[in-house]
A and B are shown apart, each in its own frame.
Chain A
Amino acid sequence: MNFIQQLRLGFRSLLLHKLRSALAVLGILIGVTAVIWLVALGEGVSYQAQQQIKNLGATSIIVRTIKPTEEANRESGSRSGISYGLLRDDYDRLLVNVPTITKAMPMREISREVRNGEFAIDSSLVGCTPEYFDINRLAIERGRALSAADMEYLDNVAVLAYEVAEKLFPIEDPLGRAVQIGEEFYVVIGVAEQRTASAAIGGSLAARQYDKDVYIPLSTFRARIGDQVITVRGGTFQNETIELNQITAVVDDMNSVDSSADIIRDLLARYHKSLDYAVVVPKELLEQAETMRTMFNVLLLLIAGISLLVGGIGIMNIMLATVTERTREIGIRRALGATKGEIVQQFLWETVVLSGTGGLLGVAVGFLCGPTVTIVRETISELFPEVWSNLPPNIRDLEPLIAPWSIVAAFGISVGVGIVFGIYPARRAANMDPIEALRHE
């Protein structure tokens, strides 16, 4: 019998018990679908993370100011307040002592209300240098970015994030208009393009939302706002002095990232008594993300393997019943010239048809992953808009990525499961004594 005939015979025999076969197929289908969906969601998440990390720059090293713990505060703090974080001197030291750094960019950041007449928004006021836009791949939609001249002349100019511009200037063109921050007025010289958030990286670097930013020259920031921040917390004034919130250093080559990061760590450790900074290396994060992804995939395959194992046991169960029921047929075929091997083949084909059908349907349902996620997303955002807006952007923007290898693996494993779990029933069929089998009622 050729391949097609074997397949047809397998289908025919399975159609004798439609429900039973359908249930066995369902077992495999669920397993295969689970593999494809889980891998697709996992790949989607890791792709997102990788994109976000890549946006930080694979050759950059980010040093952030972090607020030291309370005990450390008490030591270094005085009655007039505490002072912590990166210093302008740190910035100079990095430039001088780390030769691999090609660009470094200091940044200062603070929460401030920005207004245009009656329109106001709580923004994140960012004091930065012109490189900021480049390094963060922040494109300008209208107008221009900050320039070296703006820095030099301490100009009161600002670049607005897209959303800030929308809020403050719902009708008019913001370019050339002034926004008010505290007592000062700043002329809007540019509007940035919309930009998705960057990665949230452990505790050291929260997800950077760019949609509330207002960028002004760092020098202007220092002159107009200064280093001191006074906040009211629990009825008492808190006085914090921070020179810089972040220094982004870009090194010349991917290979020098790790050594440069080590030098930076040493250098900072020498001048900082408390750990009021953190060094974040996106490249390391990328590697970690890659490892995580591999581990995740292995875990998924394990889960998938278990679900397919269950499916396989279902198939074996059904095939054992089938073999018992069809003892007579086996006897007939043996009498009419079938060898044991040919009986084994026949029943193996049946299990492969079962598991293969489950596999194919599973792959088909697997491809519905994307549309399903879209539908679920739309349903939630329509029916429960509050729940939706509270979801982290990582989940809101999640796009499953179907991995080709997962399809091949899922289908292959399902067929393999069919063969493995089919062998025992098939051998049992083949090893029946033909005379006994023919006598079977």
Chain B
Amino acid sequence: MSSVATEAPPASGRAVVASVRNVTKLYRLGGEDVHALAGVSIDFHQGDFVAIMGSSGSGKSTLLNLLGCLDRPTTGQYLLGGNDVATLDDESLSRVRGRYLGFVFQSYNLIQQLSVVENIAVPLAYQRPPNPDGHALCLRLAKLVGLSGRLGHRPNQLSGGQQQRVAIARALVNNPHVILADEPTGNLDTATSIEIMDLLDALNNAGRTIVMVTHEPDIAARAKTVISLRDGKIESITHNDR
């Protein structure tokens, strides 16, 4: 695996889908300031597959939460779908998440009382206007992630890898601009991790933009770009030569 460090984004011809400008995140704990993010600027292009790495406490999750509109930066801009979402109110942020973003979590985060197909459909409940072909779409996505035979199963009847596939299908159902994944293989064994990465790869090859946090270098190696964080700052951006 060869990697080349470079400052300029390689595919500048592709559209920018998300862009953070000088964002900082300040946590104040008992009078002490913690700069979880200390000025981060980065553009994500259509079709990017970015892995964010860094030591524990370097600000990876904080950055991903900002990208996911689950949190607002203390200062700075975040352009998503052409709007600055850094200053939106809670309700608008919810709408932005529902419209532009898909989430994959380390611990799958499926809703236990719902079946596979119902879990995939959860984001559709919050679409405005509602998607009239929602059910057919869910079936197609279940097939895409190889779970057509398990539509009625509950999460606790599935293996970890299968649950993560459901989560990925769910992340696709609103046709998001960016898929955000926080350690998607963190709870999986090596073989299953590879399966999941193959699936993400396939999605990326089909044009999906993916931003993923990971600890594991061999997982990061499957991304096109690796961003290293250190103390809330970007330490390096590496483009994998795949």
Binding site for B on A (CB under 8 A): 1, 5, 12-13, 15-16, 328-329, 331-342, 434-435, 438
Contacts and interface: CB of A to CB of B under 8 A. Distances in A.
Contacts of B103: 335-336
A438 B127 contact: no
Contacts of A16: 113
A409 to B, nearest CB: 34
Contacts of A333: 111, 122, 126
A341 B90 CA distance: 10
Nearest to B180: A335
Interface stretch (B52-60, B63-71, B138-146, B207-215): B63-71
Contacts of A339: 90-91, 94-95, 126
A434 B177 CA distance: 21
Interface string B127-165: 100000000000000000000000000000000000000
A438 B105 contact: yes
Contacts of A336: 97-98, 103, 122-123, 126, 170
A375 B157 CA distance: 50
B35 interface: no
Contact of A340 (B94, B99, B110): B94
Contacts of B68: 335
B125 A438 contact: no
A434 B70 contact: yes
Nearest to A333: B122
Contact of A337 (B90, B98, B109, B113): B98
B201 to A, nearest CB: 24
Contact of B123 (A329, A337, A435): A337
A234 to B, nearest CB: 82
Given A12-B113, A435-B71, A340 B126 contact: no
Nearest to A6: B125
A337 B70 contact: no
B24 interface: no
Interface in B70-120: 70-71, 90-91, 94-95, 97-99, 103, 105, 109-114
Given A332-B110, A338-B125, 19 more contacts: A5-B125, A13-B113, A333-B111, A333-B126, A334-B97, A335-B97, A335-B103, A335-B109, A336-B97, A336-B98, A337-B94, A337-B98, A337-B174, A338-B98, A339-B126, A342-B94, A342-B126, A435-B65, A435-B70
Given A337-B99, A337-B123, A339-B90, A332 B109 contact: yes
A341 to B, nearest CB: 7
A5 B126 CA distance: 13
A124 B125 CA distance: 79
A345 to B, nearest CB: 11
Contacts of A341: 91
Contacts of B174: 337
Contacts of A340: 90-91, 94
Interface of chain A: mostly helix, strand, loop or mixed: helix
Interface of B: 65, 68, 70-71, 90-91, 94-95, 97-99, 103, 105, 109-114, 122-123, 125-127, 170, 174
In order of increasing CB-CB distance, the 9 nearest A-B pairs are A337-B98, A337-B126, A339-B94, A336-B123, A1-B125, A339-B91, A332-B109, A337-B97, A338-B126
25 contacts: A1-B125, A12-B113, A12-B114, A331-B109, A335-B97, A336-B122, A336-B123, A336-B126, A336-B170, A337-B97, A337-B98, A337-B99, A337-B123, A337-B126, A338-B98, A338-B125, A338-B126, A339-B90, A339-B91, A340-B91, A340-B94, A341-B91, A434-B70, A435-B65, A438-B109
Contacts of B105: 438
B91 A337 contact: no
A332 B103 CA distance: 9
A332 B111 contact: yes
A1 B111 CA distance: 17
B141 to A, nearest CB: 14
B168 to A, nearest CB: 13
Given A435-B65, A435-B70, A438-B105, A337 B127 contact: yes
A283 B105 CA distance: 77
| Residue among B94, B95, B174 with the highest chain A CB neighbour number at 10 A | B94
Contacts of B71: 435
B111 A338 contact: no
Contacts of A334: 70, 94, 97
Contacts of B99: 337
Contact of A328 (B91, B98, B109, B122): B109
Contacts of B94: 334, 337-340, 342
B111 A329 contact: yes
A15 B113 CA distance: 9
Contacts of B112: 329
B121 to A, nearest CB: 10
A337 B99 CA distance: 7
A23 B71 CA distance: 39
A340 B70 CA distance: 13
A396 B105 CA distance: 70
A334 B98 CA distance: 9
